[in-house]
Amino acid sequence: MKCVIIDDEPLAVELLQDFVKKVDTLELINTFNNAIDAVSFINQNNVDLVFLDIQMPHFSGIDFLNTIEKKPLVIFTTAYSDYAVEGFNLGAVDYLVKPIPFHRFLKAVVRAQQALQPSVSSQTIAENNNTPEIQQDFMFVRAEYENVKLNFADILFIEGLKDYVKIYTTDNKFTLTLISLIKLENLLSSKGFARIHRSYIINIKHVKSIQKNKVLISDKRIPISESYKNTFFEKINL
């Protein structure tokens, strides 16, 4: 989906840009710090989805929606929950209240994708030809010229390297495969794994200790980033 961010807060724009980069189904084509400048761009370009702040000086997100001719899908991003009813009455796909956690952002994107392509399920959104096949307690991943079987119980953690990932296992080896972390996160989150950093997914079973901003797995100390900390701690009941 081609998307645009409209928000007068630079930090909010940066956070959404970072989130968009993590989702393979999104392509960010422009950002705006006010809604007025965005009107002509939206009317003249093909935009599938807009992340739209509501309260902005001089020209609100609601004013923007009432002005544009071409109506893309809209996900409201705001610090106030008071406008939720009005937002949904305007046909918004979702309504995200700041500070926005990534898991909530991802859920809103899945809703937008399903609204754009109703026949596509949330599982299909996460899949492509390089996505491993999940079967019970193991998966197959493509490595060089063969499909390698990896038992979930043997995976220590997964490290992202741009388009590739390294999957580290209990035998002190790793498997390099072409797939994104976001796809593995979607597939493994219900299997005892957790995303704790933009570059790391861990197997909770193998965590030896947890510090404020790190976990220890085997002899590796893996950082916990602020954007994933709350979700991770909730998952392990800390």
Given a cut of 50, whether residue 127 has pLDDT beyond it is: no
CA atoms within 13 A on the CB side of 153: 2
Q: Which residue bears the tokens 């370009």?
A: 45
pLDDT of residue 111: 86
pLDDT of residue 87: 57
Given a cut of 50, whether residue 153 has pLDDT beyond it is: yes
Burial string for 142-172 (b: 16+ CB within 10 Å, else e) reads beeeeeeebebebbbbbbbeeeebebbbeee
Higher-pLDDT residue of 135 and 170 is: 170
Retrieve residue 94's tokens: 């979702």
Question: Dihedrals φ, ψ of 106, to 5°?
Answer: -65, -40
pLDDT of residue 72: 93
**Which residues are CB-contacts of 194 (< 8 A; sequence separation ≥ 6)?**
201, 202, 204, 228, 231, 232, 235, 236
Mean pLDDT value across residues 155-169: 91
Burial string for 21-40 (b: 16+ CB within 10 Å, else e) reads ebbebbebeebbbbbeebbe
pTM equals: 0.51
Give the confidence band of 161 by pLDDT, cuts at 50, 70, 90: confident
Given a cut of 70, whether residue 130 has pLDDT beyond it is: no
Nearest one of 62, 68, 17 to 45, comparing CA atoms: 68
Mean pLDDT value across residues 177-199: 88
Given a cut of 50, whether residue 120 has pLDDT beyond it is: no
Kindly report the average pLDDT of the chain as a whole number: 85
Give the confidence band of 119 by pLDDT, cuts at 50, 70, 90: very low
Task: Kindly list the distances between the CA atom of residue 155 and the CA atoms of 5, 168, 184, 202, 211, in Å, as whole numbers in the listed order.
Answer: 37, 6, 12, 8, 21
Cα 238 to Cα 231: distance, rounded to the nearest angstrom? 10
Rg, C-alpha atoms of the chain: 20
Give the confidence band of 147 by pLDDT, cuts at 50, 70, 90: confident
pLDDT of residue 128: 44
Q: Is 60 exposed, middle or buried (0-12, 13-18, 19+ CB in 10 A)?
A: middle
Given a cut of 80, whether residue 14 has pLDDT beyond it is: yes
Mean pLDDT value across residues 208-214: 90
pLDDT of residue 178: 85
Question: pLDDT digit string (tens) for 42-64?
Answer: 999 999 999 999 888 888 888 89
Retrieve residue 143's tokens: 């490595």
